[in-house]
């Protein structure tokens, strides 16, 4: 199958909505959190595979601004996951030259979660390979509201002229600006069969290829990722223009 993969056309930025942890666990008569724990193992595997393939940015939706509605026990478990993950995995990230980045309102996370995240960012800051970008307490509309507030403030302070605002300006005010020049994912994958965007990267996915797979996130693996990238490579991306052969 690798034969069909074009190593010269790997998407620079892949974003993944890691869905189906709960159903994976349910199917096995396990508590939901067992699915999240297994999902964390998938994160490790996919990070390695994506990095080896030459992906520049891998964005993973780990916790949305809406996920606070879940039972306390599950939220607490999810808040502990980055701590467990980075505790064990930072040396391997360093070995693989992966840099950790975060988008989202991390100041609202429990102190210990923030610390784990900031430590990982700090310890991997010098790596110049793939960026492992976690969306943590992230919501796209909230991100846009914050960006608009900041732009309005800049206008008010005469630091930004209204006429000067263009698409690049908006992109600069979004949290993904830290990923430049790869702010926008070429490929967005959602696992578990749900076909929704769920408030993820709404601005940034304007031209992304959307790929929905039935596999639950804990069952997702490198073979699936390669399969999904091949499917991406077989699509005809036109950006509003015409097919290549009709140009």
Which residues have a catalytic role annotated?
A: 19, 67
d(C-alpha 31, C-alpha 24), whole Å: 10
- If one asks whether residue 82 binds ligand FPP (CB under 6 A), the answer comes out as yes
* CA proximity to 13, closest of 212, 224, 229: 229
Nearest-approach distance from CB 230 to ligand FPP, in angstroms: 23
- Taking CB atoms, the residue at the shortest distance from ligand FPP is 22
- If one asks whether residue 185 binds ligand FPP (CB under 6 A), the answer comes out as no
Question: Of residues 11, 14, 33, 39, which one binds ligand FPP by CB under 6 A?
Answer: 39
- If one asks whether residue 21 binds ligand FPP (CB under 6 A), the answer comes out as yes
Helix residue spans in the chain (DSSP H): 21-27, 32-53, 72-95, 111-123, 140-156, 167-173, 222-233
Length of the chain: 247
d(C-alpha 201, C-alpha 59), whole Å: 10
Q: Mention every residue, 6+ apart, whose C-beta is less than 8 A from residue 46.
A: 16, 58, 220, 221, 222, 225
Cβ distance to ligand FPP smaller for residue 80 or 172: 80
- If one asks whether residue 217 binds ligand FPP (CB under 6 A), the answer comes out as yes
- If one asks whether residue 67 binds ligand FPP (CB under 6 A), the answer comes out as yes
Cβ distance to ligand FPP smaller for residue 22 or 104: 22
Q: Give the residues lining the site for ligand FPP (CB under 6 A).
A: 18-23, 36, 39-40, 43, 62, 67, 78, 81-82, 85, 134, 192, 217
């Amino acid at each position: 199958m690798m034969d069909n993969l074009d190593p010269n056309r790997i998407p620079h930025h892949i974003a993944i909505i890691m869905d189906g942890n709960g159903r994976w666990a349910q199917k096995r008569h396990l508590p939901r959190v067992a699915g999240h724990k297994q999902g964390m193992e998938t994160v490790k595997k996919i990070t390695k595979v994506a990095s080896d393939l030459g992906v520049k940015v891998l964005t993973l939706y780990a916790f949305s601004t809406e996920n606070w509605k879940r039972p306390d026990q599950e939220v607490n478990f999810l808040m502990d996951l980055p701590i467990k993950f980075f505790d064990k995995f930072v040396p391997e990230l360093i070995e693989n030259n992966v840099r950790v980045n975060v988008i989202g309102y991390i100041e609202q996370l429990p102190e210990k979660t923030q610390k784990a995240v900031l430590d990982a960012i700090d310890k991997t800051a010098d790596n110049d390979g793939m960026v492992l970008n976690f969306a943590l307490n992230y919501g796209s509309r909230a991100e846009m509201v914050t960006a608009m507030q900041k732009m309005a403030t800049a206008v008010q302070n005469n630091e930004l002229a209204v006429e000067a605002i263009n698409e690049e300006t908006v992109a600069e005010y979004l949290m993904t600006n830290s990923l430049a020049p790869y702010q926008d994912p070429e490929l967005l994958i959602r696992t578990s069969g749900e076909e929704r965007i769920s408030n993820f990267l709404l601005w940034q996915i304007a031209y992304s290829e959307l790929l929905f797979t039935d596999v639950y996130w804990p069952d997702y693996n490198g073979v699936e990722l390669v399969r999904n990238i091949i499917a991406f490579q077989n699509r005809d991306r036109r950006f509003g223009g015409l097919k290549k052969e009709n140009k």
